[in-house]
Amino acid sequence: MAKIRDSWGTRLGIIMAVAGSAIGLGNFLRFPAKAASNGGGAFMIPYFVSLFLLGIPLMWIEWTLGRYGGGFEHGTAPGIFHSLWQKNRFIKYFGVIGIFGPLVIFIYYIYIESWTLAYSFFALFGKYAQLRDQAAMQNFLTNFQGLGNDQYFESLGWAYFFFLITFILNIGVIYHGIKGGIEKLCKWAMPLLFIFAIILMVRVFTLGSPDAANPGWNALGGLGFLWNPDFSALKSAKVWLEAAGQIFFTLSVGIGVILTYASYLAKGDDVVLSGLTASSTNELAEVILGGSIIIPAAFAFFGPVDIKTIAQSGVFNLGFVTMPLVLNKLPFAALFGFCWFGLLFLAGITSSVSLAQPAVAFLEDEFDINRKKSVSIFASVAFILCQPAIFFLGRGVVDELDFWGGTFFLVIFAAIEVILFAWVFGMERAWDEIHKGADMRVPKIYKFIIKYITPLFLFFILGMWLWQEWLPIIFMKNIPAANQPFILMTRIGLLALFLILGLLVKIAWMRKKKQMQRIR
Ligand code: PFF
C-alpha cells in the first residue's frame, strides 16, 4: 500500500524552513559567545575555512541524500543509509545517530528556548528593569533557573510554566505537519525575526561611546574586535575544533535534520541553489546580524578584556545577563528587551521544530503510524526526557547533553555521511544526483573537496580530539565530584536511548521483511 508522504508547499517555503532550522540560538547566543571567548578575530579564520570545507559540502550532501531517500519513502538516516548501501546490513544502525542526535539536542534546546519566552515577558513587564549591574542580573538568571536564592522567584515554577508553554507550542506546530505546521510557522516567523534583528542592530550602532573614559569603546571597536584577523590562533587545536563545531551546529548539518527536511522534496526539485541560499541566509544572520548585536553592545559598555571574561564564564551570560543589562541603560528598555528575547524565541522555535521532526518521521515512515499518533508518541517521550535537563541543570546535565548531541555525534555522523556519499555511493553518481533538477552547477572544485578534503578534515578533527580529550572526558576529569553521579546517570540514559532506537530500527526492518514476504 503506497502511502502519501507529506510535502513542502513552495520552494520559498522549504528554503525558509531550512533557514529557520539553521538560524537559531546558535546564531545569536552561541556564535557571539564562541567568538568572544576565543578572542574575536582569532576565531573567524577557522570559522570560514570550516564553512567552505565542511559546512557547505555537508549542506549539499544532506539535501541530496534526503531527497534521494525520500524517493524510497525514507525520511530518516537508517532508511536513507540503507537505500544507499543495500548490501550492508549494519549501515542502518549508524543511521540511528540521525534520530538520536536531534532528540538529544531537542531535550535541552527547548528548555533554553523557553527562557527566551519567559524573558520576553519579563522585559515587557519590567521584572528586571531595576537591575543595574552584572552580579544582580546574573543572580536573577540563576534564581530563575532554580539554582540560587529566592530573591526574585520563589521556586522553579515560572521556569516550568514557560517550559510547558514552549513545549505545547512546538508540539502544536509539528502536529500540523510539514506544509501546514512547520512551513507556515517559518513563513511569518523568519521575516519578523529579521525585522527584530535589524531594529536591534541599528540601536547598537547608534550607541556612541557610553564610557567617557574609554572613547574607543563603541560599536565600531566591537566590530574591530570580531573582524581583525589573528593568524597566531591558527596553531590552536581548540580554536579549530570549536569553529568546526559551531559551523555544524549553526547550519543544522551533520545530525540528520536536513536529511529529514529534504526527504519531503520532489525528485526534480533543485537542491544546489536552495541549499546554498539557505546556508547563505544563515551566515548572513550569524556573522552580520549575530555579530552586530551582542558583541558590539557588550564591547561598548565593557571593553575588550571584560567581554572575553564574561563570554568565558558561560555561554548564556552574554545573552541573558550582559545584553539585558546594556538595554536597561537605554530609553525604551522594555521594548528593546522584548525585541531581543522575542528575536531569540522566534529563532529558537523555528529550530526546535526541526529537531523534533526526524523522530516523528521515523515513526511515520518506518512504522506506518499516522502523523498525529506519531506526534503524540514523540511528545510523551520527549516530555519525560526533558525533565532531567530542567531539574538537574545545575549538575551539568545540559552541558553533557550538548557535548554528546551538539558536538561529538555531529562530527561522527558527518564523517559517516560524507564517506557514504563520496565513496560508497560513488563520487560520479553523487555528482549526477546533486545536479538532478539543479538550477546552478556546483563549482567543480567541490568534487575534489567532497571526496578528499572534507573527510580528511573531519578525521583530522576527530583524531586530534580523541588524542587530546578522550581520557579526561571518559573519566570525568573536569567534572566536580558532586556532579559525577548525575553525569554518569545522563550517560547511562543516553546509552539506553541509543540502544532502544537501535532496537526500533531492527523491529521496523523485521516488520517490513514480513510484509514483503506476505505480499509475495
Ligand atoms: N542551527 C540551530 C541553531 O543555530 O541554533 C540549532 C540546531 C538545529 C542544531 C537543528 C542542529 C539541528 F539539527
For residue range 94-150, what is the model confidence (pLDDT) as tens digits?
A: 999 999 999 999 999 999 999 999 999 999 999 999 998 889 999 999 999 998 878
Indicate if ligand 1 lies below 6 Å from the C-beta of 102.
Answer: yes
Indicate if ligand 1 lies below 6 Å from the C-beta of 170.
Answer: no
Residue closest via CA to ligand 1's atom 9 equals 252
Residue closest via CA to ligand 1's atom 10 equals 252
For residue range 32-63, what is the model confidence (pLDDT) as tens digits?
A: 988 888 877 889 999 999 999 999 999 999 99
At 2 the pLDDT is 54
Q: In the numeric block, which cell numbers belong to residue 227? A: 573582524
Atom of ligand 1 nearest to the CA of 102: 13
The rounded distance, in Å, linking the Cα atoms of 303 and 107 is 35
Atom of ligand 1 nearest to the CA of 354: 10
The rounded distance, in Å, linking the Cα atoms of 113 and 53 is 30
Instruction: Calculate the dihedral angle through the C-alpha atoms of 355, 291, 320, 494, rounding to the nearest 10 degrees.
Output: 30
Cβ count near 8 (within 10 Å): 22
Q: Please answer whether residues 76 and 489 qualify as being in contact, where contact means their C-beta atoms are separated by less than 8 angstroms.
A: no
Residue 75 DSSP symbol? -
Q: How far is the CA of 355 from the centre of ligand 1 (A)?
A: 8
Range with lowest mean pLDDT among 121-125, 197-201, 226-230, 342-346 = 226-230
For residue range 216-262, what is the model confidence (pLDDT) as tens digits?
A: 899 999 899 888 888 887 887 778 888 998 999 999 999 999 999 99
Q: Please answer whether residues 189 and 350 qualify as being in contact, where contact means their C-beta atoms are separated by less than 8 angstroms.
A: yes
Read off the pTM: 0.95
> Distance of CA 240 to CAs 112, 230, 243, 246, 332, Å?
26, 13, 5, 10, 40
Query: Which of the following CATH numbers is that of domain 21-519: 1.20.1740, 3.30.70, 1.10.760, 1.10.3470?
Result: 1.20.1740
Which of 220, 272, 277, 212 lies closest to 251, judged by CA?
277
The rounded distance, in Å, linking the Cα atoms of 78 and 417 is 12
The rounded distance, in Å, linking the Cα atoms of 398 and 404 is 10
Instruction: Tell me the percentage of the chain whose pLDDT exceeds 90.
Output: 76
Residue 1 scores a pLDDT above 60: no
Atom of ligand 1 nearest to the CA of 29: 5
Q: Please answer whether residues 278 and 78 qualify as being in contact, where contact means their C-beta atoms are separated by less than 8 angstroms.
A: no
Q: Please answer whether residues 242 and 343 qualify as being in contact, where contact means their C-beta atoms are separated by less than 8 angstroms.
A: no
Residue 284 scores a pLDDT above 80: yes
Can you say how many angstroms the Cα of residue 143 is from the centroid of all Cα atoms in its chain? 26
Average pLDDT in the chain: 93
Q: How far is the CA of 152 from the centre of ligand 1 (A)?
A: 31
At 228 the pLDDT is 87
Phi, psi angles (nearest 5°) of residue 113: -60, -40
Indicate if ligand 1 lies below 6 Å from the C-beta of 21.
Answer: yes
